[in-house]
Every structure is written in structure tokens, then in C-alpha cells.
């Protein structure tokens, strides 16, 4: 049996899209657990209405009004849902997601093949509604493709908490979210606890597993989201921190090096880096059967340059993380 765990806080706008995708899941040997995290909108009422209109589905709603141990926010909700879950595999997604019909099947086959497989991360891209969401789509595709490439060399990076599956035994061995130090990136935290316990990991990059998230609507909101991610990524180690800051300041640094290296070498390095990135993006979209979305590549290059510089300034100027109307 599978248990889908979903933390919900003020997601009334997004929930109908998630509901439609959950109704289309082909594997019916599943329970769906919603944890209402003190929502102040109509989220709880929408979930109750979904339960009443779909009695054929095994759906439950739990109201989470207190914290257990040191947990906060989403991690607290997921920790409490885990105590309610009956499945042998925990599936994680978010309220602003639309999962594929074969979502469960895309995880199940790998758990059956490898008893030491503890955690699987899937592939998610934002839905495209405009050029800004197109930029985010390319960004997500590229980042997850890079994580997938690292996984080929057995190098763990992180997992995507909106498209993730964990073997129950692997989760329990960590002691659960309530036994971990609080982190604003709870998916990263649980991923590394499972790795520390010698369980295997897997990063998927297949069209069967592909799911969609709602794109962040504004530049400012995206800055806050990536600030949260970046603060969590700082725990990855000094080598990964260097890679991140090279990404943010890569072109300015390259420009300075060009003064000393000469124009020819500068342009060779510049176009070499761009070509490598484009090859990875082409591979990513081809694999996901989304090759037509390459039209957003120019938008990505322009936005990515300015956004990374802005994010770096934002990161050093903001000491707090704002997440779901809460400050951490």
C-alpha cells in the first residue's frame, strides 16, 4: 500500500488542480493524507468537499494545530502525517502540484527491484503560462538534469519534496522529521538522513514520472523561494557552495578573467560553457518529450543572468526566510 502525504497551508487556489490529477492516478492501492496547517482560507473546506464527492478514494484530512518536538511548518505537518500513514511507501507532493497518472507506478517498479532503495526523487517542472514561467521551466529542467547526472556517479545532492518517494522503513530509521534539526528545506534534510543510514537513492528523469508545479507568479516571490532553497543548500558542503556562487557570479568572473586571458580564450571558454549548458537542457527536454519548449531558452539566459545577481544580493541582505506567511 502507498501513502500520499500532502501538507496544506492556504492553497485554495491550487488545490482543484491537484484534486483532478489525484483522481486520475492509475494505481488505486493508495491512501491520501492531507494535513491542514492552520489554513486561514477555504483549503480545509475544499478538501472536505473533495472527500465527500469522491467516496471511492481513500482520502483523509487531519488538522495540524500544534508542533511536535522541534518541528515547524511543513516538516511538522509531514511528521504527524507519517504517524497516521499505513503504507509501506510514503509518497510526497505539494498542494500546488499536478502529478502524472502513472506517478505511483513510476516509483513502484524501482522499489520492487532494490530492497535497499530508500528514497527516490522525481522530476518536476512549472506549468507555463507566460515568459516568466517559461524561464522557471528551463531552470528547473536544467537543475534536475544536473542532479540526475551527478546521481549517475553515485553522488547524492538532494531530493524534490514535491515529487518524492520514501520507503517507510528508511524513514523510520531516521527517527522521522521530529528527530531532525529544523530546516527550511525539509526534503533536503530527510534525504541526507536516509543517505547517512546507508540506504540507496535514485533520481528519476522520465516522462512517466514528470509532474507539474504552479509557477511562481512574481520576481519578488521567486526571490523569497530561492532564498529559502539557497539557505538550505549551504549545508551541502564547501565544494557545493563554491559551485553555487560560481553559478551566480560566473559571467562577471569570466569577464574579469578575460582581461588577463585575452579575448580569444575568453570567448572560447564563454561559448564552451553556454554550449555545455544548452546540451544538457536539450537532453532534458528531449527526455521529457518537451522539446518544443526550447523556445524559452533565450528568455532563460537573459532572466537567469539578472536573477542570479539579484538573488545573491537578496541572500546577503535578508537574514530571515518568509515561507507560507511565516518567518523562520
Look up the CATH number of the domain holding residue 121.
3.90.550.10
Query: Between vectors from CA 203 to CA 202 and to CA 209, what angle results, nearest 5°?
Result: 115
Nine-digit cell string for 57: 478514494
Identify whether residues 19 and 99 lie together within a single domain.
yes
Identify whether residues 183 and 233 lie together within a single domain.
no
Q: What CA–CA distance (Å, rounded) separates 99 from 25?
A: 8
List of residues 6+ apart from 143 with CB closer than 8 A: none
In which domain, by residue range, is 311 found?
A: 225-327
**pLDDT for 149-179, tens place per residue?**
999 999 998 899 999 999 999 999 999 999 9
Identify whether residues 24 and 131 lie together within a single domain.
yes
Provide the pLDDT for residue 135.
96
**pLDDT for 3-43, tens place per residue?**
999 999 999 999 999 999 999 999 889 999 999 999 999 99
**pLDDT for 274-318, tens place per residue?**
898 899 999 999 999 999 999 999 999 899 888 988 888 888 887
Beta strands at 89-93 and 97-98: parallel, antiparallel or unpaired = unpaired
List of residues 6+ apart from 47 with CB closer than 8 A: 8, 15, 34, 36, 59, 61
Which of 191, 220, 249 finishes a domain?
Answer: 220
Which of 188, 203, 220 finishes a domain?
Answer: 220
Give me the residue label for grid cell 545577481: 309
Q: What CA–CA distance (Å, rounded) separates 299 from 172?
A: 44
Total tally of structural domains belonging to the chain: 2
Provide the pLDDT for residue 290.
95
Identify whether residues 39 and 178 lie together within a single domain.
yes
Identify whether residues 195 and 252 lie together within a single domain.
no
Express the helix, strand and coil content of the chain in percent, nearest 5 each.
55, 15, 30
Identify whether residues 127 and 261 lie together within a single domain.
no
Amino acid at each position: 500500500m502507498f501513502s500520499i502525504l500532502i501538507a496544506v497551508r492556504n492553497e485554495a487556489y491550487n488545490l482543484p488542480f491537484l484534486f483532478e490529477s489525484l483522481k486520475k492516478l492509475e494505481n488505486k492501492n493508495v491512501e491520501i493524507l492531507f494535513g491542514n496547517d492552520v489554513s486561514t482560507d477555504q483549503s480545509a473546506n475544499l478538501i472536505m468537499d473533495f472527500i465527500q464527492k469522491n467516496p471511492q478514494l481513500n482520502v483523509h484530512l487531519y488538522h495540524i494545530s500544534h508542533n511536535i518536538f522541534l518541528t515547524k511548518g511543513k516538516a511538522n505537518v509531514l511528521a504527524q502525517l507519517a504517524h497516521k500513514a499505513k503504507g509501506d511507501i510514503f509518497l510526497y507532493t505539494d498542494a500546488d502540484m499536478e502529478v502524472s497518472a502513472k506517478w505511483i507506478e513510476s516509483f513502484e517498479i524501482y522499489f520492487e527491484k532494490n530492497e535497499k532503495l530508500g528514497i527516490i526523487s522525481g522530476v518536476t517542472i512549472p506549468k507555463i503560462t507566460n515568459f516568466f514561467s517559461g524561464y522557471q521551466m528551463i531552470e528547473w529542467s536544467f537543475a534536475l538534469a544536473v542532479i540526475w547526472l551527478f546521481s549517475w556517479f553515485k553522488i547524492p545532492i538532494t531530493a524534490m519534496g514535491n515529487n518524492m518517494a520514501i520507503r517507510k522503513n528508511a524513514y523510520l530509521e531516521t527517527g522521522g522529521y521530529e528527530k531532525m534539526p529544523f530546516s527550511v528545506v525539509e526534503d533536503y534534510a530527510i534525504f541526507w538522513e536516509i543517505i547517512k543510514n546507508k540506504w540507496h537513492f535514485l533520481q528519476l528523469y522520465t516522462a512517466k514520472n514528470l509532474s507539474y508545479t504552479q509557477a511562481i507568479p512574481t520576481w519578488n516571490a521567486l526571490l523569497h523561494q530561492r532564498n529559502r532553497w539557497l539557505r538550505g543548500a549551504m549545508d551541502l558542503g564547501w565544494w557545493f557552495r563554491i559551485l553555487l556562487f560560481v553559478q551566480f557570479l560566473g559571467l562577471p568572473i569570466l569577464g574579469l578573467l578575460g582581461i588577463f586571458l585575452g579575448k580569444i580564450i575568453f570567448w572560447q571558454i564563454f561559448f564552451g560553457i553556454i554550449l555545455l549548458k544548452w546540451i544538457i537542457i536539450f537532453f532534458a527536454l528531449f527526455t521529457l518529450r518537451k522539446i518544443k519548449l526550447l523556445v524559452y531558452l533565450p528568455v532563460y539566459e537573459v532572466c537567469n543572468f539578472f536573477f542570479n545577481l539579484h538573488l545573491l544580493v537578496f541572500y546577503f541582505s535578508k537574514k530571515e526566510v518568509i515561507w507560507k506567511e511565516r518567518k523562520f
